[in-house]
Amino acid sequence: MTAVRALVLVSLTALAVLCALFIQGLASVPPDKVALHYSGGPMEGEHFQRVVPPGTNTRFYGLLDNVHELPATQLNYIMSKAPEQTGAERAEFVGAPTLDKVTLQWETATYFKLNTHGPVVRRFFEEICLRYRCTDLSPGGGWDRMVADTVRQQVVAAIQGASRGYTSDDIYSNRETLLEIQQEIGSTLKDRLAEVLGGEFFCGPSYDPEQPLDCPGFTFLVKEVTLPQNVQDQYDINRASALAVDNSRNEAAQRKIEAEGEAARQGALRDAPELTAAQLAYIYAQAQLECARRDHCVLVLGGDPAIEVQSRGRDG
């Protein structure tokens, strides 16, 4: 009887283990992930089976098989002095010297996607990802460490290379310069990263898995460029001085215009012909008529002697 109980207990334990392995072999892939299916076993090890696309429903992959998930939607790497924007809970920026040897502080955002084309994403997983255990997608996990060691390094190198081609004043005050730098870095960043990693493992945010051979460039944005405080203070002083000079020039130009206008008016008066007696009489008559219409109006007519005309008020 004891042997029967032991056999039943062993059978139930084996069944429980088989059930657990079966449940472990069940998996679904969420819409924002892509998965790599590897067969497994105590004897044969893991072997690649296929890429499982995003949004795949639950299915049974195998008793000892593994399904490794990687991000399939748009990714970003943000460097900002505001820790809440970086996702790493710390401030981050790039210091890069300019042509005139001023070290600027760059805050940037880089947008990209993982290339999920089957042969490419398999190479990425086996050659790059496994070294970092990058299936750990938690903050600060293997994926974040991989991005910091690959994408970040190339972003820093690209910014420092571009910054050396311009003066600090041109970068800080010329919007067209920043747009040129954005375009330059965005168009070359993907190729720089592919050269370092040995493959086009990352593409731009417009990458379409339905067109796997088209790997567009990254989107790169300069969020803000900051001058060192001492340079910023001097820049503000120089700017204020330039504005003062401009204001002085404008005021001098306005005074010159006013003086020229007054001179022209005086010249016109000097050159005007004298009025005739009839014209003067008409003007005097009009003035007397207008004064008569007003209360307490005093009109002095020129002449020798002068004539004073007064109108009466309503109470007079």
DSSP-derived 3-state class of residue 157: helix
Q: CB neighbours of 139 closer than 8 A, spacing ≥ 6? A: 87, 88, 89
Whole-number pLDDT of residue 109:
93
Q: Considering only CA atoms, which of 66, 58, 18 is closest in space to residue 39?
A: 66
Which class in CATH covers the domain with range 74-227? Answer: alpha beta
Whole-number pLDDT of residue 155:
93
Whole-number pLDDT of residue 5:
59
Percentage of residues of the chain with pLDDT beyond 90 = 36
Rounded CA gap, 52 and 36, in Å? 6
DSSP-derived 3-state class of residue 115: coil
Residue 266 C-beta-side C-alpha neighbours within 13 Å? 6
Q: Which residues in the chain show pLDDT less than 50?
A: 8, 10-12, 14-24, 240, 242-244, 316
pTM score above 0.75? no
Whole-number pLDDT of residue 232:
55
Whole-number pLDDT of residue 22:
43
Whole-number pLDDT of residue 133:
93
Q: Are 223 and 108 in contact (CB under 8 A)?
A: yes
Whole-number pLDDT of residue 23:
47
Whole-number pLDDT of residue 106:
92
